[in-house]
Structure 1
Amino acid sequence: MKEPVRLAKRLAESVPCSRREAELYIAGGWVTVDGLVVEEPQFMVSQQKVELHPEATLVPVAPVTILFHQAADTDMSISSAQQLIRAETRALEDHSGIHLLKQHFVRLVPCVPLETNASGLSVYTQDYRVTRKLTDDGATIEQEYVVEVAGELPAEGLKLLNHGLTFNGKPLPPVKVSWQNETRLRFALKGVKPGQIAHMCKSVGLQVSSMKRIRIGRVSMAKLQAGQWRYLMPYERF
């Protein structure tokens, strides 16, 4: 029986390639052990069958951005996010073509928090460029919410929602608010602050029963189902 060795060492000897190249192949998800993908170069093997995918590349794994349909009242701390955003909850409609890797689920940074008690589109990223974009330009990136309301809107209520209300003692900038149907309002606004939408509705005599964010900038949640996620498409920009 062969003595167990690190997977990177076995692959380097069998391909052959350098140890560093072997580690890149393994981290990229291109190596199987007895038919199962293993992404850990330190994984110990002895007599198992080790194979390198014929289309394997040495290109380093690029950071990813994940779009997640978060349910209302969900604890989305980093530890909770890692439990909810996993291989099993990836949407079948993910057409990004990105090869799923375990390392896509580590070092994810949450961006653009949802409104208080809202559901909908959440963003988690490994890409510092996305983090910087959503942080530095957060006040100018438009977000779209669909808000289910109850109550009677006064005659000037819709006009006030669009412009004329205050929040935390300060005038709110103009926003775009319109009826989507008899009980649902569409809010398109920038730099939304926690509690702002509910406060705006209350100010005109409406009670909020639910809120869902469906868009951040130019990126839409589309048909992503609650509890599922997809990769940001290569061409999508916030």
Structure 2
Amino acid sequence: MAKESPRLSKLVSELAQCSRREADEWIENGWVSVDGVAINRLGARVNPKAKITIKEVARARSSESVSIVFNKPRDFPGPAAEEGRDAIAALIRADNHWAEDNSPLSFQPTHLRGLAQAGRLETEEGGMLAFTQEGSVARRLSGGDSRLEKEYHVRVEGELAADGLDLLRRGLALDNVKLPRAQVSWLSDQQMRFVLPDGKKGQIQRMCELVGLQVTDIKRVRIGSVSLGKLPPGQWRYLRADERF
């Protein structure tokens, strides 16, 4: 029986003395050629006697995890965690990368590998979604004990109860559980600012209903110290070097 040809990634890692993860990234980014032909298919097998060439950009670029900020449009379904890479890849693409992103990174297919959604927004909610390849960041953003502040701008209608603002800040309970203190203030006659340490599904809408208000629009504008800023709806940017979740 003929011996099966080795995987290209194995040969690249041996040739460049790099990890298999880095070798896979280089192949997927089109930085590896076999006998003069670029190969970007993971799992490819090649003749061990073939000439393998690696572009200098691959050797120069260190393998770093990325985090991404996406501005989800209202009424646009955000991917559920169980939908995985394909659903995320439908949102994070080269053609909707914000043109004003000042990150030195350029989009590479490997930036989608292991990219996890950290928290989610409901279909009727808009604003900031975070995606990351860093497990520690994902846990900080999605863990049940997450204490990262999340800021929302909420458009409302109706008449606020006389003591409604105080109740929203520190006096409400949902499902017989007292809510932690929240920062709540008016931004305009019809828009409020909510800052919560964490939030359950539909929490802000239910809080508003208890004090006589109906939510007509809700947008998340900040998670921790990272703000949505001027990022347009439907576009994304890389987390800057000076930003941390």
Return the TM-score normalized by structure 1. Answer: 0.79
Contact 2:71 2:129 in 1 (8 A): yes
SS in 1 for 2:59: coil
**2:15 equivalent to 1:18:** yes
CA distance in 2, matches of 1:230, 1:213: 16
Is 1:76 aligned to 2:79, yes or no? yes
Aligned residue type for 2:71: H
Distance 1:105 1:209 in 2: 34
Partner SS state of residue 92, structure 1: coil
List aligned pairs for 1:170-181, cutoff 5 A.
170-181=177-188
SS at match of 2:107: coil
Matched, 1:101 2:108: yes
Secondary structure at 2:196's aligned position in 1? Answer: strand
1:76-116 CA distance string (max 9 Å, x none): 13332221211111111211211321011232211122257
CA contact (8 A) 1:176 1:188 kept: yes
- Which residue number corresponds to residue 195 of structure 1? 202
- Checking the alignment, whether the CA contact within 8 Å between 2:78 and 2:120 is kept in structure 1 is no
Q: CA deviation at 1:131?
A: 1.4
Give the equivalent residue in structure 1 for 2:25: 27
Mapped contact 1:21–1:58 kept (Cα < 8 A) = no
Name 1:149's counterpart in structure 2.
Answer: 156
User: 3-state SS of the aligned residue for 2:187?
Assistant: strand
Stretches of structure 2 lacking an aligned partner (at least 5 in a row): 47-51
The percentage of counterpart residues that share the same residue type is 35
Partner of 1:65: 67
Q: 1:185 is matched with which residue?
A: 192
**SS at 1:18's partner residue?**
helix
CA–CA distance in structure 1, aligned partners of residues 103 and 39 of structure 2 = 22
C-alpha root-mean-square deviation of aligned residues, in Å?
Answer: 3.4
Using the size of structure 2 for normalisation, the TM-score is: 0.77
Q: Secondary structure at the match of 2:127?
A: strand
Unaligned segments of structure 1, at least 5 residues: none
| Aligned residue runs from structure 1 range 132-147, under 5 A | 132-136=139-143, 138-147=145-154
